[in-house]
Structure 1
Amino acid sequence: MSKVIMIVLDGLKYETARASMGYLNHLVEVSQAACYKVRSELPSLSRPLYEVLLTGTPCSVNGITANHIVRLSHQKSVFHLAVEQGLKTAAAAYYWVSELYNRAPFERIEDREQHNEALPIQHGKFYFDDVYPDSHLFVDAEVLRQQYDPDFLYIHPMGIDDIGHKFTSDSKEYRGKALEADMILATFVPLWMSSGYEIIVTSDHGMNSDGHHGGTGDEERDVPFYAIGSMFSPGEYPDEIPQLVVAPLLCQMLSLPLSEAMNFVQVPGFKLNI
């Protein structure tokens, strides 16, 4: 079984990832990574898509239909499935992730840092301010990795999304924030690669030129998906893959049984297709 690190760069649209993230695309060019375009589910909003990415279910099934739906998920997430199989889980993420899988509503003092082997996210550092620096968030994640050695580590920074809302996706600020995230990844990804991790870098949704998301436009729905590690044949894959496949794909990578609600679709270049 391999260990998996999943990074969700909130609000990063596909075109900006391909144009601005030099390090990630370098890995594709030198045949050390695979790159895909993922079509997000609707609505292209954050909380509903966190649930999509981690449970493989659409909002019409899971009931997380909007950002203001504050409750625990009714579905089995990758976190749940991992813990059931005796794996160790961790997350450095926005507090909505804690509200979906650990405790809801979020209590800032009690839930900022969580360590409980009985919870789906056994070790978590959760932030609640959209301007929490991405640089700090990745350090939070690395502390969790070094201290607890999780089999599944979920990392979720908010900087790109925050800047996109303030300046739109058609701005130097948005492109600059993507560059910043790429430079942070250039610091940590080589370390994780050398330690044998399978690494996924993707996004929940994109951002349009008005500084919004939630609708059906390509800018809002098309997001990148980079796969780094031994389980994917490197290269650029032109066919769009559905976002609902991400959770069952993670299960395959972690040697976990799929939940009854998940539906695995074969992904080109993935070596464990069933």
Structure 2
Amino acid sequence: MNKLIMVVLDGLRYDTARQSMGYLNHLVEHRQAAVYKVVSELPSLSRPLYEVLLTGTPAWLNGITANHMARLSSQTSLFHLARQQGRRTAAAAYYWVSELVQRAPFHYAEDREQHNEALPIQHSKFYFDDSYPDSHLLLDGEVLRRQWDPHFLYIHPMGIDDAGHKYGADSKQYRGKAIEVDSLLAALVPGWMKEGYHVLITSDHGMNKDGQHGGTGCEEREVPLYCISPVFVPGEYSQELSQLWLAPLCCRILGIPLSSAMTMPADWEGLQL
């Protein structure tokens, strides 16, 4: 069975990723990875886009239309689909993911770390402070990987988004955080590649110079997708992808059926599935 690690770098703009993330772009240059531009769904807000990434459904359908909507998703997530096919699941992520998939509201003491084979996310470590260090969160994900050997592992650090809100996207702090996360990934991705994982690295939304997102501007909507996987022909692609396609892509890589609400194009340039 294929194993997939999906890394969502919250708040990372496409142009910042291409300019500041030397290791990931090194993999593209040396034909070890493919990179695409993804156009996020609207509204370009975090909780609605977590739902998009995990269910492949738009806000008008799934009802998660704003950040304050703390409730379980009504849709079938990647975690549900993986579990239905006997795959192991794990996540190191912001607590809003728990509220969408596990239960809502989030109980800080009870839900911070969860290990329950009956839940959609069987093994998880959730954080609730936006300034929780990316180094810690990525290590949380790596610990879950080593301990529980999941087929689908979701890793979601917040540092880039936090820096963007505090200082704006046109700041040394925002760009510096992207460089920092790239270096952290450079310590982990080679091991994942060596062990045969498929790795997708993307973002939920971008960030504007005012330190905001939620609107229709390209700086708020355009995010990267790095694909480190033999199902992609390596290289840089000009085709812009819909964010709705990422959840069904994960299903295809994992070899599990898509939900009835997911759609995926037949003309995905560079994809060999």
Instruction: With the length of structure 2 as denominator, give the TM-score of the two structures.
Output: 0.99
Q: Aligned AA for 1:20?
A: S
How do 1:103-118 and structure 2 match up within 5 A?
Answer: 103-118=103-118
Name the residue aligned to 2:3: 3
Q: CA shift at 1:124, angstroms? A: 0.3
CA-to-aligned-CA distance 1:140-183 (integer Å, 9 cap, x gap): 00110000000000000000000000000000000000000000
How do 1:246-261 and structure 2 match up within 5 A?
Answer: 246-261=246-261
- Segments of structure 1 that go 5 or more residues without pairing to the other structure are none
1:32 paired with 2:32, answer yes
Task: Give secondary structure in 1 for the equivalent of 2:232.
Answer: coil
Name the residue aligned to 2:101: 101
1:163 paired with 2:163, answer yes
Name the residue aligned to 2:70: 70
Q: Aligned AA for 2:108?
A: R
Name the residue aligned to 2:209: 209
Q: Aligned AA for 2:223?
A: V
Name the residue aligned to 1:268: 269
Q: CA shift at 1:229, angstroms? A: 1.6
Task: Give secondary structure in 1 for the equivalent of 2:239.
Answer: coil
Name the residue aligned to 2:42: 42
CA distance in 2, matches of 1:63, 1:155: 24
CA distance in 2, matches of 1:111, 1:210: 33
Q: CA shift at 1:132, angstroms? A: 0.3
CA distance in 1, matches of 2:146, 2:120: 19
Q: CA shift at 1:2, angstroms? A: 1.1
Q: Aligned AA for 1:228?
A: I
Q: Matched residues, percent identical?
A: 69
Name the residue aligned to 2:13: 13
CA distance in 2, matches of 1:250, 1:92: 17
CA distance in 1, matches of 2:256, 2:51: 18
Q: Aligned AA for 2:135?
A: S
CA distance in 2, matches of 1:210, 1:140: 31
CA distance in 2, matches of 1:62, 1:51: 8
Name the residue aligned to 1:142: 142
The size of the alignment, in residue pairs, is 272
Q: CA shift at 1:30, angstroms? A: 0.2
CA distance in 2, matches of 1:42, 1:265: 20
- Segments of structure 2 that go 5 or more residues without pairing to the other structure are none
Q: Aligned AA for 1:268?
A: E
Q: Aligned AA for 1:93?
A: A
CA distance in 2, matches of 1:264, 1:156: 23
Instruction: With the length of structure 1 as denominator, give the TM-score of the two structures.
Output: 0.99
Q: Which moved more, 1:259-268 or 1:248-257?
A: 259-268
CA distance in 2, matches of 1:136, 1:265: 36
Task: Give secondary structure in 2 for the equivalent of 1:211.
Answer: coil
CA distance in 1, matches of 2:230, 2:264: 20
1:193 paired with 2:174, answer no
Q: CA shift at 1:103, angstroms? A: 1.1
- RMSD between superposed Cα atoms in Å: 0.5
Name the residue aligned to 1:79: 79
Name the residue aligned to 1:243: 243
Runs of 4+ with deviation above 6 angstroms: none
CA distance in 1, matches of 2:227, 2:168: 27
